[in-house]
Structure 1
Amino acid sequence: MDGSVALPRPLLALSLRLATALALATMSMLVKLAASRGVHLAELVFWRQALTFCLIAGWLALAGRLASVRTTRIGAHFRRSLYGIIGMGFVYGAVILLPLAEATTISFTTPIFAVLLAMVLFREKIGIYRWTAIALGFAGVLFVTRPGGGAIDPLGLGVGLVAAFLVALISLQIQDLNRTERPFTIIFWFTAMTAPLAALALPFVTGPHDGLTWAIIGGMAFCGAVAQILLTTSLRYGSAATIIVMDYTALIWATLYGWFVFDNMPPVTLWLGAPLIVAAGLTITLREHHLSRKKKLTSLEL
């Protein structure tokens, strides 16, 4: 969906995006908790996708809209799904390897990678505002990670940065699909294609789980499905540039979950680096919004 929405309701959009951040943070906490109880990463990815597919397909069937997912771009959906399941593996991997607050903060570098990808793939010119934001963002990463100080697992850092890069790449794919496809069509095909792929690994990674572990897995999958639906719905009532600020509240939830569930409080350096990364993301988002509006006005004048 583009920046202009048919039914602008900014307060509702902000509330939905706030709920999205909480759902995603809760999902991340449950991913980490399930992994600590011996659940394999591939199994978590499968249940997340399988349950989301059931919810989306069920809702579309009950609403009589299952035919709306027909597409002529099955190849594009497959490529998005392939990158998406790899990206999900890295996102979950970062959550498992790093403390929740650090993993969440590293994920905020996605807008920075999006700008760099636009420059490389589309020859887009990057001005002083976005270069400044990129510098701020990576300075923030240095604060958070304290290279050489042993403050953060290097493997976890690498996985987290690759995850942010892949999310940025996937965002470009979704942006392309949004030109011709509805949001729920994109979600439907993503889950329909990736759940069977993830299922291929199940015979090799699945083990016996107790009732509590199954409850954690189910809660994780449910929170992921709800977050995806809330995210899609929020864009119906507000533009991304307006509501993206709520995404950063995920750091609050991640910090609280890290403290109460895993007895882990983030170091002072995280609170020095996180504002820089958040400021970089917001600067890039607002600048992209400004440039998009400028292009629209120019095209109208022509």
Structure 2
Amino acid sequence: MSQSHTDRVLTGLALRLFAIACLSTMSALIKLAETRGAGLVETMFHRQLWAVPLVTAWIAAGPGLGSIRTRRFGAHLSRTAVGLTGMVFTFGSVLLLPLAEATTLQFTVPIFATILGALVLKEPTGWHRWGAVIVGFLGVLVVAQPGGGHFPLYGAVVGLLAALFVAIVAILLRQIGKTESAGTTVFWFSTLSVLPLGAVYAFQLKAHDPLTWAILVAIGLVGGVGQLALTGAVRFAPVSAVVPMDYSGLVWATLYGWLLFGVLPTPYTWMGAPIIIASGLYIVYREQRLRRSVSPVTAAETPA
């Protein structure tokens, strides 16, 4: 492996770690804003509003504003509708659950991606990955402890729905990405989201103190930076290499939960999280191994 290639991979890993730190910080800010009276739609609106100038500046400095032209406006509208629905569940899980538990449930995204890939895209999926799916959901049961009452069960359902929609968005992005750049997709999602969120938010306007307004603006700026870092990471390193960095989010969630809210993960979370993480990593490993060892022709016939 050449030095330049190694440097690019390390850059990708560093960007992914930075992105996860930003998004974890955004989640903590969302929860902090809620304790100061900000509502769900309000935080979602500011998340998208303040990301728009960041994304626009990034595009202007790179491929140029001309790159936002698109012939697939309908596809961007669909991505926005699904993305906003997913944001409702993602932000909702942060508000309903302790940060560590909400973050842990997000680790089920590879599990849902495997299920959707098999059922929707008809991707060949063998017993290795189906086994990992089953193990992953056993880990979810350990964390959620249905009937245990250590946190609201409906919060766990919202968290799992958030992960499901992230997986759905990933499939949509795979289709849109055949003709659209990442910057174009992010721009249209952010811009189109502001319109419906603003319409709803107009009926929920409320006064806040300066610190709360600063937190709301920070949600958008930090989230926007994190989104750009995610995009940059996969430019330098393969997805399979950077995905394991996502699990650093549990460290951030635990730290923020303790420092800001005086809450630490339950023993069940410490037991279940490694199971879910191992399941996700194994799914990524099997997919990468299949792509490397099997030709495109036989890959369509050989389940992993």
TM range (shorter): over 0.9
CA displacement, residues 61-105 of structure 1 (integer Å, 9 cap, x when unaligned): 355700011111111111001100110111000000000000000
CA positional deviation for 1:128: 1.7
Which residue type is aligned with residue 76 of structure 1? A
Partner of 1:293: 292
Match runs of 1:94-105 below 5 Å: 94-105=93-104
CA positional deviation for 1:284: 0.9
Partner of 1:120: 119
CA displacement, residues 264-295 of structure 1 (integer Å, 9 cap, x when unaligned): 01111111100000011111112122223345
Aligned residues: 295
Which residue type is aligned with residue 269 of structure 1? Y
C-alpha root-mean-square deviation of aligned residues, in Å?
A: 1.7
Percent same amino acid at aligned positions? 42
- Judge conservation of contact 1:7–1:236 (CA < 8 Å) in 2: no
Structure 1 residues 68, 161: closer, same or farther in 2, change over 3 A? Answer: same
Match runs of 1:1-302 below 5 Å: 9-63=8-62, 65-294=64-293, 296=295, 298=297
- Judge conservation of contact 2:113–2:168 (CA < 8 Å) in 1: yes
CA positional deviation for 1:60: 2.6
Q: Which runs of 5+ in 2 are unaligned?
A: 300-304
Structure 1 residues 185, 296: closer, same or farther in 2, change over 3 A? Answer: farther
CA displacement, residues 112-147 of structure 1 (integer Å, 9 cap, x when unaligned): 111111111122332121012111111110111111
CA positional deviation for 1:35: 0.9
CA displacement, residues 178-201 of structure 1 (integer Å, 9 cap, x when unaligned): 111111011011111111111011
Structure 1 residues 299, 280: closer, same or farther in 2, change over 3 A? Answer: closer
Q: TM-score if structure 1 supplies the norm length?
A: 0.94
Structure 1 residues 76, 239: closer, same or farther in 2, change over 3 A? Answer: same
d(CA) in 2 for partners of 1:82, 1:102: 26
Which residue type is aligned with residue 103 of structure 1? A
CA positional deviation for 1:297: 5.6
- The secondary structure found in structure 2 opposite 1:125 is coil
Q: Which runs of 5+ in 1 are unaligned?
A: 1-5
CA displacement, residues 188-243 of structure 1 (integer Å, 9 cap, x when unaligned): 11111111111011122221010110111111111100110000000110001011
d(CA) in 1 for partners of 2:125, 2:150: 33
- Judge conservation of contact 2:54–2:225 (CA < 8 Å) in 1: no
- The secondary structure found in structure 1 opposite 2:82 is helix
Which residue type is aligned with residue 117 of structure 1? L
d(CA) in 1 for partners of 2:33, 2:5: 39
d(CA) in 1 for partners of 2:290, 2:70: 31
CA displacement, residues 37-69 of structure 1 (integer Å, 9 cap, x when unaligned): 111111111111111111111333355700011
d(CA) in 1 for partners of 2:182, 2:103: 25
Which deviates more, 122-131 or 233-242?
Answer: 122-131
- Judge conservation of contact 2:54–2:224 (CA < 8 Å) in 1: yes
d(CA) in 2 for partners of 1:299, 1:134: 23
- The secondary structure found in structure 1 opposite 2:38 is coil
d(CA) in 2 for partners of 1:98, 1:44: 16
d(CA) in 2 for partners of 1:74, 1:15: 33
- The secondary structure found in structure 2 opposite 1:200 is helix
- Judge conservation of contact 2:54–2:221 (CA < 8 Å) in 1: no
- Judge conservation of contact 1:32–1:95 (CA < 8 Å) in 2: yes
d(CA) in 2 for partners of 1:144, 1:106: 8
- Judge conservation of contact 1:94–1:160 (CA < 8 Å) in 2: yes
- Judge conservation of contact 1:40–1:206 (CA < 8 Å) in 2: no
Partner of 1:3: none
Q: TM-score if structure 2 supplies the norm length?
A: 0.93
